[in-house]
Structure formats: C-alpha cells, structure tokens
Amino acid sequence: EDRLRIGITQNNVGVDSYQTTYETAFKEAAAQRDDVATVVLDAGGDVARQIAQMQDLIQQNVDAIIIWPTNGQAVVPVVRQAHNAGIPVVVTNSNIAEAGQDFIASFSGPNNILQGQYSAEMMCDQLGGEGQIVQITGQPGYTTAIERQKGFEDRLAEICPDVDLMESQPGDWNREKAQRVMEGFLTKYDTIDGVYSGDDNMGVGALNAAKAAGRADEIKFFGATNFAVGYEAMERGEYHGSVYQSPAEDARNALQTAIDVANGEDVPKLNYFDTPKITQDNMSEFEKPVF
C-alpha cells in the first residue's frame, strides 16, 4: 500500500498532562488522515532508549521521523544517522542543538526562548520595574527548560535591571518538588515579589507553598505553558501570567510538517506555532486548557 509511514519518538508521555494530551491529539490527528500510518513510540525520558527507538524507526525505513528530544544535544548523531539513511526528521516541541540543524528538515513547536522573554516582560511589567524574584526551572538538561530560563534571564536583565533574580532551583516539571523548593525560598527570603516557574504545573506548586505560608498576596506568579490549574488560579486572581501553548496544536503542527516533508514539499526550517502571553486581563480571549 502507499500510505505514508511516519514514526514519532516522544520524550516522556505521562510525566505531565501536556505530553499526554499531545500524544492523544497526535493519534487523533493521524487517525483522521487515511493517507498516513504512524508508529508512535515513547522514550520514557531516557536518551539511550530514544536513540534505540530512532534506530528501530530507521530500520523500519519509515517515510519521516518526528522526534521530541529527550535532550537537545544527545540525539544529534542519531538524527544525522536518519538523515544519512535518507529519512527526513522533524523535531517537535523542543529544538535540538545547533550542530544538528543541518540534518533536520524542520523544527515544529513553540519558540521557547521567546516564551522565556514573554514571561520576563510580563514580570517586569507587573512588578513595575523593581523587586526581588526567584525562579523554578524545569528538568535540568532538558532543552525547553534551558531555553526558557535563558530567554527569561537575558530579557529580564535587558529590560528590568532593577529586578533582582535571587536564586534558581529546578522543580523537574514536578508540582510537589516545586512546592518544596518554594517552601525553602520562603524561609530563606523575607521579601519575594515574584516567582517565575518553567511551567504552570510547577507554578501552582509555588503558589500552594506561598498560600500555606500566608504570603501569596505579596507575590506575583508567572509561568509558561498554561495548564488548567494555572488558568483557574488566574481566574481566582492568584496567578498573574503565563504563556498559552496548546499541545493539540503542537501535535497537529508536527504531524502536518512531517507529512509535508515526506511528500517532498518545502517547509520553513523553523515552524513555530503561536504561543501568546496570557494574563488576568486578556484571559477571557482563551479557552481553558483541557490538560
């Protein structure tokens, strides 16, 4: 038969709702197309396993591979291997390192540097240009986390030199961990004016801690990837800003890009989808996230 065969190796399905919703949306989108068949795999967060899955996909000689990198650097050689085997590769959600850019057909996903910058801008804006803040980052070593942190820190220094970033600790995309980190911050610093978290899942953990300490009112909370819990907290006026990012769109975008690439069409190298700022002021323009 002459259906296109597209393989995907995801980062870590089930680790949070974003990634899970992505997978569901991806499968749904694929099911609607009778011209494609997909091989859907998950690396469980392990680089080595992801490399093995890439090799297995190459072995099956699929028409295109989508990879959601567990790590932006470590998958470069195996992406190159696919490239050399004549299989086009689309990177999704989180880009791979500079060295691999020659071997991919396209990156499809959010612009995480930009997202970090957005958060810095919202923070700067709402703090009125000064204050003391802390940061809770995502999984160490994970490109999305690194890029958001970099975007945030660079932009903040640029536009808001008087906002003092006192400390950063990782929350591993995990709400409970973030809550514990925040509890530490709260003990340590008498004044905290703002918190930036790598995603809303962690942001809500930070909020929980501040509420328990009775200090939520003095703090402004910013995150990224607006989760349903973040959206609700924003409705209640407890959470102050995030970046709206739809996993379904992320998934559909990736699949479409891969199909185009496999069909030999021209696609832009950086195929970002839109991730706008969301704050208490404009939230009514957005639907509540499903995850």
Partner 1 sequence: MKASLPMSNSSTVATDNRKRVLQFLGKHGILLAFLLCMMIFSLTTDRFLSTGNLLTVLMQVSILGTIALGVTFVVIGGNLDLSVGSLLSFATVLVVDLHDKVGPTQAIVLTIVFTLIIGAINGTLVGYLKLNSLIVTLGMLSAIQGITLIYTSGQNVDIQDQENTWFAFFGREAIFGIPVPAIIFIGLAIILQVVLLKTAFGRKVFAIGGNGVAAAFSGIYRNRMVFSTYLLSAFTTACAAIILGSRVMGSQNNVGQGYELQVLAGVILGGTSLLGGSGSIMRTVIGILILGFIQNGLLLLGYPYYAQWLVTWVVIILAVWLDIAAKRGRLLNDF
Partner 2 sequence: MHAFIQSVKRQPIWLFIIACIIFFSFSNEYFFAVNNFQNILVQTSTIGLIALGMTFVMINGNIDLSVGSTVALAASLAVGLQGALGIPMAVVIGLGAGVLIGAINGLIVWKTGVDAFIVTLGAMIGVRGLVFVYTEEQSFYASNFAYSDFGMSSIFSLPVLALIFIALTIVAHILLKYTLHGRNVYAVGGNRKAAIEAGIKVGPHMLINFMLIGFMAALSGILLSTQMGASTPNLGRDYELWTITAVVLGGTRLNGGAGTIIGTLGGVLAIGILRNGMNLMQVPSFYVLVIMGSILITVLFLDKRLNVTASKGVQI
Interacting residue ranges for partner 1, rule: CB under 8 A: 13-17, 19-21, 23-24, 167, 169-170, 174-176, 179-181, 183-184, 187-188, 201, 204-205, 208, 212, 227-229, 291
Fill in the amino acid letter for 192: I
* Shorter beta-carbon distance to ligand RIP: residue 22 or 103: 22
275 binds ligand RIP (CB under 6 A): no
Whole-number Å distance between alpha carbons of 133 and 194: 5
Residues in the chain: 291
Tell me the C-alpha distance between 133 and 160, whole Å: 12
Of these, 128, 129, 140, 184, which contacts partner 2 (CB under 8 A)?
140
Q: Which two tokens stand for residue 251?
A: 């998934």
Distance CA 143, CA 245 (A): 17
Using alpha carbons, select from 168, 163, 154 the residue that is nearest to residue 125.
163
Residues 6+ apart with CB under 8 A from 32: none
Q: Sheet harboring 89-92: ordered strands across?
A: 36-42, 4-10, 64-67, 89-92, 106-109, 270-272
| Residue 256 interacts with which of partner 1, ligand RIP, partner 2, none, CB < 5 to 8 Å by class | none
16 scored as a contact of ligand RIP (CB under 6 A): yes
> Quick one: which of 77, 167, 228, 286 contacts partner 2 (CB under 8 A)?
77
Distance of closest approach, residue 39 Cβ to partner 2, in angstroms: 6
| Residue 55 token pair | 């090799």
Q: Which stretch binds ligand RIP (CB under 6 A): 11-19, 210-218, 233-241, 264-272?
A: 11-19
Size of the site for partner 2 (CB under 8 A): 36
CA distance 43 to 57: 13
Q: Which C-beta is closer to partner 2: that of 43 or that of 124?
A: 43
- By CB under 8 A, tell whether 44 contacts partner 2: yes
Beta-strand pair 4-10/64-67 = parallel
C-beta closer to partner 1: residue 77 or 141 = 141
193 binds, among partner 2, ligand RIP, partner 1, none (CB under 5 to 8 A by kind): none
Q: Is 225 in the site for ligand RIP (CB under 6 A)?
A: yes
Burial class (CB in 10 A: 0-12, 13-18, 19+), 285: exposed
Asked if 199 touches ligand RIP (CB under 6 A), the answer is: yes
Q: Could you say which of 4, 17, 24, 49 contacts partner 2 (CB under 8 A)?
A: 49
Alpha carbon distance 28, 76 (integer Å):
29
Task: Assign 3-class secondary structure to 200-232.
Answer: HHHHHHHHHHHHHCCCHHHCEEECCCCCHHHHH
Report the residue from 173, 185, 221, 231 that binds ligand RIP according to the rule CB under 6 A. Answer: 173
Residue 56's binding partner out of partner 1, ligand RIP, partner 2, none, with CB under 5 to 8 Å set by partner kind: partner 2
Interface contacts to partner 2, rule CB under 8 A: 13-14, 39-42, 44-49, 51-53, 55-56, 59-60, 71-78, 80-81, 97, 99, 139-141, 146, 170
Interface contacts to ligand RIP, rule CB under 6 A: 16, 18-19, 93, 144, 173, 199, 201, 224-225
